[in-house]
Structure 1
Amino acid sequence: MRNALISGLAQLLLVPAMIAQAPAAAAYPCAAAAAYSAARGGVSLIIMLDGVVVCEDYPNGGAADQAHFLASGTKSFTGVIAAAAVQDGLLRFDELVSDTLTEWQGDPVRMQITVRHLLTLSSGLEPGGNGAPPSFATAVASRSVHNAGERFEYGPAPFQIFGELMRRKLLAAGRDGDPLSYLQARVLSPIGVTPAFWRRDSDGMANMPSGAALTARQWAAVGEFVRLGGVVGGQALVDPEALRALFEGTDANPGYGMSWWLIGRPGLRTGRGELAPGGPEAGDEITISDAIMAAGAGKQRLYVIPSRGLTIVRQTDRAASRGRGDGGRLRWSDAAFLEAILGDD
């Protein structure tokens, strides 16, 4: 299914469990951020403050029940899967991937790669191009071009390798080997989210780096789950310590954790231009240290800023925006957009 816009799906939960509506949302200053997003091809905008929706806008033909592909915004789900797997005793962030992908044993470079290296994009493996991601099998065969931990290289292959790692871990534990089924059962169903669609390869394996399509409200529910440290209704769905570990940068890139952009950290590196489509722009300075982001082409955005109680979703219709640049006619700046929301705060 190639169209980035999916509508008319009766099974969509328009108000997931993590979303509350504000009785007086109009009191929040929304107009500047809404106008900024709409002028750049935005079709949905949700701003949540302390768990309450204070702004919701669907310009340019958008609607609350329309799901859009998140592109590389999908990548950040892999970190959530990993944190849940740590809590379940399925893996450790610093275990060697070759303990599970035994075909790597005997390769002295790939044998040094940990799960953390994979998800921080510092594995040293060929990252892959930004078109269709490689299959799990093709990704696992990727060769090393640097030593693990030396360089940040943005691309889809490490996330597909993680998918194969999880598949084998789950099967070894006597579970369904599908990483998406695991994510759905462990996290998404408890927070009231069922993705409208998730692309799979011809071999049936999930597209881990770019395959998910969600409504704005669904993606906001995921952001709230992260903002609250994995605790829902007083219960830790994911161990908070394991979840916090996703937001630790590396020497290779202080501004990228395990599958999440750490946009408020000094020293953020975006990769070599074309290797991070839809990611943050070089020089786009954000001064809130705990601001994190899931980001995809078209400037699909999920921002989480725990210190301000904020979860923010912004989406575009990528199919409609092709040929017009990255999601609209005007340049996108994460710093300018967030300033429109936060002002001088």
Structure 2
Amino acid sequence: MNQMLLSRRTALIGLSAVTAVPAFAQTRFEAARAYSTARRGISFLVMQRGQVLFEDYQGQGKRFKGWELASGTKSFSGVMAAALVQDGLLKLDEYCADTLREFWSDRYRSAIRVTDLLHLVSGIDGKGGRNFGNVPTYAEAVTATSNKGTGTQFSYGPVPFQIFGELVRRKLIAAKTGDADPLAYLTRRLLDPLGIRPIRWQRGSDGMPHLPSGAAITARDWAKFGQFVLAGGVHQGKALVDPVALRANFEASKANPGYGLTWWMPRPGMIGPGPRSGVASEAVSLSGLGKLYMAAGAGNQRLYLLPDQDMVIVRQADGILEGLRRGAGDWSDQTFLSLLLGA
């Protein structure tokens, strides 16, 4: 055992699923854990090839306690789109106006395709200008106007995701799938088969689930989702989503080379969610770590996917409201991942 050590924390809580790791990797994981904990980290998990290598909880963090993902919720929409494609309910290149009929009368909105909407390059202001609150209802979102051509400008915010929610809702009703709303569909098609149980998922005043934010799940469940994506959407030998549509989740638009369909892909030229988020400031350095896909939320909630290493990393933290107010603060994705990977 002197060459192969179990994670200190996971050994204490007796998780039989935790795999032994070499001492040098244990040292790196401990360094990353210490960095995260010193910056309000409460949950930290490393999974490779579907096996948990390291798991740690501090403060309010608990193995069975879900935590708010904030904007980390957004990436569920891109994968849900791939499930809809497999079910024949959606095409990524179809016009949104085919379902959202009110878009046809608008010069700009009539040209928006689903891929434009989820790439956040539809021409619609992601934040809705001053017309809405933080997260609009589905009905409010579809009234958002546009005065720009599709693909010309990246605009981050909740509005496109709520529009997507309404588009999905109408498709489910028309197809008579039996699902009441997008979350019911996501749960039936993906979350239940993967054994993911959200602790909660916020809904708006219209009763519809918030797709840009609102999910709260455990670190292990977030890691399961990430591993499923890394596995190409295959679970127990069965493809649960369309593989081409899933790969499209990681294809960038011309307007933002660092954003796919609801996933961040740090690389030079990436446009982040905002000047205080810290997500884009290290894009060049992060690109040196190899392929990296990321779901990111306020308070520095993170789900990292590293395809070259077949590794999933979850980091959850306290202080989401503080994160919204202060921005990235003292958190650095590059420092954290460099410590973990020994880069």
TM-score normalised to structure 1 length:
0.88
Q: Which amino acid aligns with 2:231?
A: L
Match of residue 169 from structure 2: 167
- Map residues 132-281 of structure 1 onto 2, 5 A cutoff: 132-175=134-177, 176-263=179-266, 265-273=267-275, 277=277, 279-281=279-281
Match of 1:21 in 2: 17
Higher relative contact order (CA 8 A, sep 6+): 1
Instruction: For 1:291, give the aligned amino acid.
Output: L
Q: Which amino acid aligns with 1:206?
A: P
Provide the rounded CA distance (Å) in 1 between the counterparts of 2:91 and 2:283: 34
| Structure whose residues are more often helix by fraction | 2
- 1:297 is aligned to 298
Residues matched between the structures, number: 323
Matched position secondary structure for 1:190: helix
> Structure 2 vs 1, CA of residues 215 and 280 (structure 1 numbering), >3 Å: closer, same or farther?
farther
Aligned AA (2:114)? V
Note if contact 1:26-1:54 (Cα within 8 Å) is conserved in structure 2: no
Instruction: State the SS of the aligned residue for 1:273.
Output: coil
Q: Is contact 2:70-2:215 (8 Å) kept?
A: yes
Counterpart contact for 1:20–1:51, Cα < 8 Å? no
User: Counterpart of 2:210 in structure 1: which amino acid?
Assistant: N
Correspondence 1:86-105 to 2 at 5 A: 86-105=85-104
Deviations 1:24-49 (A, max 9, x none): 14743311110110111100000011
Shift of 1:81: 0.8
User: Partners of 2:16 and 2:257 in 1: how far apart?
Assistant: 34
AA paired with 2:100? L
Q: Which amino acid aligns with 1:35?
A: A
Alpha-carbon contact 2:298-2:324 (below 8 Å) kept: no
The CA distance in 1 between the partners of 2:278 and 2:228, in whole Å, is 23
In the other structure, the counterpart of 2:6 is none
**CA contact under 8 A between 2:282 and 2:334: conserved in structure 1?**
no
8 Å Cα contact 2:138-2:206 kept in structure 1: no
Structure 2: gaps spanning 5 or more residues: 1-12
Identity %: 49
| CA shift digits 1:180-218 (9 cap, x unpaired) | 011011111111001010000111011110010001111
| Paired letter, 1:318 | G
2:285 is aligned with 1:285: yes
Out of 316-325 and 73-82, give the one that drifted further.
316-325
**Runs (5+) with no aligned partner, structure 1:** 1-13
Structure 1 pair 320–21 and aligned structure 2 pair: CA distance change class (3 A): farther
Q: Work out the CA distance in 1 between the residues paired with 2:60 and 2:227.
A: 26
Moved over 6 A (4+): none
CA gap 1:208/1:143 in 2 versus in 1, 3 angstroms: same
CA contact (8 A) 1:128 1:134 kept: no
